[in-house]
Amino acid sequence: MQFRSTKSSGPLVSFKDAVLHCLPSDGGLYVPDQVIDIRQFFLHMDEKITYPELVATVAPTLLQGELNPFSASRVAESAFDFEPELIRLDDNLSILNLYKGPTGFFKDFGIAFLAAVMEELLKKSGQALILSAARGDTGVSMAHAFSKRKGICSVLVYPSGPIRGLDPATFVPNGGNIIPIQIKGTFDDCQRLIMETINDREFSGRYGVTCANAINPGRLLPQTFYYLYAFIKIKKYLSGDLVFSVPSGNFGNLIAGLYAWKFGMPVNGFIAAMNANNAFGDYIRGNPFVPRPLVNTNSPALDVSVPSNYERLASFYKEAPAVMRNMVYPASIGDDLTQWTIEHAWKKYKIHIDPHTAVALAAAEQVSAAHEWSGHVHTVVLATGHPAKEADLVRKATGQAIDIPESLQALQKKSDPIAVISPQLDAFEGAIASCF
Ligand SMILES: *Cc1c(COP(=O)(O)O)cnc(C)c1O
């Protein structure tokens, strides 16, 4: 599979180049240039297939010429010691738990694959230094996935504020390969510094600098695998249509679902489940996208005013606007209904869900009622966050105290970065260089 920029029809780049350069120089985003039909590889898969087996089967077909079946199997085995979990709640509803990874959110799936595939792709050609701006638990997920990967150092760039969940034993000065650096500034300063470093050709050439933010195709592509996995597990129960409900902030997860559909997965629609930050719903309904000011909600990972994957989604709509209108259903859920839905899920199905998942479940019920789907559509709700990460809200909604697994408790432990610097390029490059 080759990739091109959303802003032009060429030049085409390989998966490896798209991963290692992450952003085309014209300001667009990388998208697959051609659609590969992989139907024959998963349609007949046994439902007992494990997640690494599925990844090892599908990835070499998608990445033909770049990842052979042996490499793919190594990547899948080393990335995934956790799996998605599909639970059928009733005839019309399932939940796909994507929070069983090391940091309790679905982003672990993309990050774990990225780290493993980079190690594999770099095997013959040396070194890479991966820069990522770290917010929330993304830094921990990165550190976990990249720790001990040969030939790769991972630089985590933090804005001002506490840094949590890292293990100092993995830091470069202690013999590891993780370099946490704190900027006296904001998250935007972190992202700007990363772009400046990449554009400093001399420095980035010397250290093999690349970036690994959420729009890297190496994180996006592997998110299609759990949609295929869900389909394989559910297909024998399907008699009518299949729809996925996806809690959407930057829309990476939803785009990955659309790729799975393009690759041949039989699916009839996706619900773009948003909270009060719902301006993107206008775009999905066919109106111009006019961003609105950010609103803080009780599902903070969805508090996004301009989705970073806007260009990618727009390229789907440009290609086939009428098809897309029937494929993606927008919905917007307020804080009260989110909290009520956490309670409702507990009472009706005896499951604990986090607020992001609650937005998707409430959206599924809303869209289903509006279109009178009951009885002939099966909806799979994507559970993107571990309920224990929002234990207070879940307790408030359900009256139930919930256990916080030890691995998630460790996310709360504070640690110090190896350097705290002003948000300037020379200070930043100096801090990195001092590690070598
Ligand atoms: C990041 C995140 C989302 C939003 O996913 P996008 O791909 O940005 O749409 C939803 N839920 C949780 C828990 C998240 O961490």
Pick from 21, 29, 95: nearest CA to 308: 29
SS3 content of the chain, % helix, strand, coil (to 5): 45, 15, 40
The protein residue whose alpha carbon is closest to atom 11 in ligand 1 is 384
Instruction: Work out the pLDDT band at 126, boundaries 50, 70, 90.
Output: confident
Residue 254 CA, ligand 1 centroid: distance in Å: 10
Is residue 214 scored above 90 in pLDDT?
no
Contact 354, 387 (CB under 8 A): yes
Residue of 253, 271, 342 with the most ligand 1 atoms within 8 Å of its CB, for mutation = 253
- How far apart (Å, rounded) are the C-alpha atoms in residues 306 and 303? 10
304 CA: nearest ligand 1 atom: 8
The protein residue whose alpha carbon is closest to atom 14 in ligand 1 is 301
Residue 250 CA, ligand 1 centroid: distance in Å: 7
Residue 107 CA, ligand 1 centroid: distance in Å: 7
**Up-side HSE of residue 328: CA atoms within 13 Å toward CB?**
31
Pick from 436, 428, 407: nearest CA to 177: 436
Is residue 125 scored above 80 in pLDDT?
no
pTM here is: 0.96
Residue 304 CA, ligand 1 centroid: distance in Å: 10
Bin 210: left if φ > 0, else alpha if -120 < ψ < 50, else beta.
beta
Q: What is the pLDDT of residue 223?
A: 97
> What backbone phi and psi angles, to 5 degrees, belong to 105?
-145, 165
Residues with C-beta less than 6 Å from any ligand 1 atom: 105, 107, 247-253, 301-302, 356, 384-385
How are beta strands 328-332 and 178-183 bridged, if at all? unpaired
Residue 247 CA, ligand 1 centroid: distance in Å: 7
Q: Is 35 helix (H, G, I), strand (E, B) or coil?
A: coil
223 CA: nearest ligand 1 atom: 7
Partners of 182 in the β-ladder:
158, 420
Close Cβ partners of 141 (under 8 Å, ≥ 6 residues apart): 101, 102, 103, 105, 107, 108, 111, 112
Greater confidence (33 vs 10) lies with 33
Is residue 120 scored above 90 in pLDDT?
yes
pLDDT digit string, tens, across residues 363-388: 999 999 999 998 899 999 999 999 99
Q: Which residue has the tokens 């009256």?
A: 399
Contact 215, 23 (CB under 8 A): yes
Is residue 11 scored above 80 in pLDDT?
yes
The protein residue whose alpha carbon is closest to atom 3 in ligand 1 is 301
Instruction: Work out the pLDDT band at 348, boundaries 50, 70, 90.
Output: very high
- Which of 31-35, 66-70, 220-224, 227-231 is least confident? 31-35
Bond into 32 cis (ω within 30)? no
Q: What is the pLDDT of residue 336?
A: 98
Q: What is the mean pLDDT of residues 47-66?
A: 95
255 CA: nearest ligand 1 atom: 7
How are beta strands 30-32 and 3-5 bridged, if at all? antiparallel
When computed from its CA atoms, the radius of gyration of the chain, rounded to whole angstroms, is: 21
